[in-house]
Chains A and B, each alone.
Chain A
Amino acid sequence: MAQQPSSESAGHQHAGESAVHPPYLCPDYKATRLRAPEKPLVLLPESLSQVTGPAYGHGRVGPLDHDLTRQHGGEPLGERIVVTGRVLDGDGRPVRGSLIEIWQANAAGRYVHQGDRHPAPLDPNFTGAGRCLTDDDGRYRFVTLKPGAYPWGNHYNAWRPAHIHFSLFGPAFRSRLITQMYFPGDPLFDQDPIFQSVRDREARERLISRFDLETTEPEWALGYRFDIVLEGRGATPMER
């Protein structure tokens, strides 16, 4: 899904970066108004953030950490799904052995978090946190539930589209990414200032997973594909 060269990818990384990632300040997303840095960013020589990066989580990933439906005594309620895809660097090479952490609301749209006041039920069989390492092909796979939409206080009748949070490290400091994966055809996209904070339409669409019949498992779970491209290119120690 990330194969199409988008309008802003002229090969100049800083110009491309500002067009791909959202700006800090998006007034429609109210929390940015007092938290967005305003001063120009200090530019760095590319080499400084490309070469090394933390390796976090190795040896900490348990065999069931990728399956959010099997972390408790019983089965959680909701629509079981498989989410899979590949993690690539800017040159299209697989990012191998890299930690992915995900978290999400349950099928009713409620997070296991004391700060979540949405009056929707918690599910004793669902926490909503998972992690895994990418394989040699850059591939990952999670089994989970489709999260519910939920209201938030940003504006009158504001609802977040269903989403799964993704945290990735990749091979270098520069490739660190936290993002959100959305589901195709969500009617809430137009009114969501977080999704809309990505100004470029093609870039925004790269946040949307696609339904995939090949990933779908008969009599068991729908499948969604979500490929992720991390910043950074050039020879890295991971590739040797």
Chain B
Amino acid sequence: MALPPTPSQTIGPFFHFALLGEDRSELVAQDHPSAIRIGGTVYDGAGEVVPDAMLEIWQADADGRYVHPGGDGEGLVPKAGFSGFGRCGTNDEGRYEFLTIKPGPVPGPDGQRTLQAPHIWVSVFARGLLKRAVTRVYFPDEEKANAADPIFASIEDPDLCSTLVARPADEGGVLRFDIHLQGVRQTAFFDV
């Protein structure tokens, strides 16, 4: 018996006091030896910054394992201290930033035969988005793995594909991943 799902509605403008009460933008301690920073700016179709978005990330750990409730299968074993989940609002300049670790490669859609390149899922929620926009951050130092990634490789438009790769860390040490919701520079979004 298949039940039709409950439809999505926008997060609206007034969610901060409920959803961002605790800071979940740091997935590891600041002194974690493998900590990396990923940040960027969210833009609308007019190139204006989006100061009222909420981003959530979901990723595997450094060994390519997702921490999953009740996980008892391959790749589902929780590892203490790393949840793989983060949440961050954009500020008045449309900026967000996460402190995390680089995930390892995870199995592809056909199981163990192919590996997906290291990547981080990103969900964008905002006023004006009636449902979330989902994208993936790939890493600039993984050119070979990215090219072999079955999802990455399935995107035919090279410009759209390139929106998924973070820019190398700037002088502040932050991998830059800007998100364009609309327009010629629009980020690639996924139908999950």
List residues of A whose CB falls within 8 A of some B CB. Answer: 2-6, 8-9, 11, 14, 16-17, 20-24, 26, 29, 31-39, 41-45, 47-49, 51-56, 58, 60, 88-92, 97, 101-103, 105, 111-113, 115-116, 127-130, 165, 167, 171, 173-174, 176-180, 194-195, 197-198, 202-204, 206-207, 228-231, 233, 237-238, 240
Sample (9) of A-B pairs whose CB atoms are under 8 Å apart: A6-B4, A21-B8, A24-B133, A35-B126, A38-B182, A54-B56, A90-B5, A129-B17, A206-B4
Query: From residue B74, how far is it (CB to closest CB) to chain A in Å?
Result: 10
| Chain A proximity of B20: nearest CB distance (Å) | 10
Q: Encode contact with A along B36-53: 1 for CB under 8 Å, 0 otherwise.
A: 000000001110101010
Do B190 and A42 touch (CB < 8 A)? Answer: yes
User: Interface residues of B, CB < 8 Å — how many?
Assistant: 71
What residues of chain B lie closer than 8 Å to A178, measured between beta carbons? 8-11, 125, 132
Central interface residue in B2, B9, B66, B127, by most chain A CB within 10 Å: B9
With A207-B6, A240-B70: A42-B155 Cβ-Cβ less than 8 Å: yes
Contact residue among B10, B71, B190 (Cβ-Cβ distance under 8 Å from A44) = B190
Of residues 1 through 46 on chain B, the ones whose CB sits less than 8 Å from some CB of chain A are: 1-19, 21-22, 24, 44-46
Of the candidates A51, A101, A128, A176, the one whose C-beta lies within 8 Å of that of B123 is A176
A38, A52, A88, A165: the one contacting B3 at CB < 8 Å is A88
Other than A34-B46, A34-B181, A228-B6, give 17 A-B pairs with Cβ distance below 8 A: A2-B3, A8-B4, A22-B8, A22-B131, A24-B129, A24-B131, A34-B44, A35-B50, A42-B154, A55-B83, A103-B15, A112-B17, A177-B5, A180-B9, A229-B3, A229-B5, A230-B5
**When A and B form their complex, which 10 residue pairs have the shortest distance between CB atoms, in order from nearest?**
A31-B128, A103-B18, A45-B109, A35-B128, A54-B85, A129-B18, A41-B191, A55-B69, A22-B130, A52-B66
Main secondary structure of the interface of B (DSSP, over half): loop
Q: A42-B154, A56-B85, A97-B69 are in contact. Are A91 and B8 (CB under 8 A)?
A: no
Within 8 A of A (CB), among B142-165: 150-151, 154-155, 160
Known contacts being A43-B191, A44-B190, A167-B19, is A54 close to B126, with CB within 8 Å?
no
In the complex where A35-B128, A45-B109, A237-B76 touch, is A22 in contact with B7 (Cβ < 8 A)?
Answer: yes
A46 to chain B, nearest CB (A): 8
Residue of A nearest to B21 (CB): A129
Residue of B nearest to A239 (CB): B70
Q: Report which of A2, A39, A204 forms a contact with B186, defined as CB distance below 8 A.
A: A39
Q: 1/0 per position for B95-127, CB-CB distance to A under 8 A? A: 000000000000001000000000001010111
Q: Is the CB of B19 within 8 A of A194?
A: no
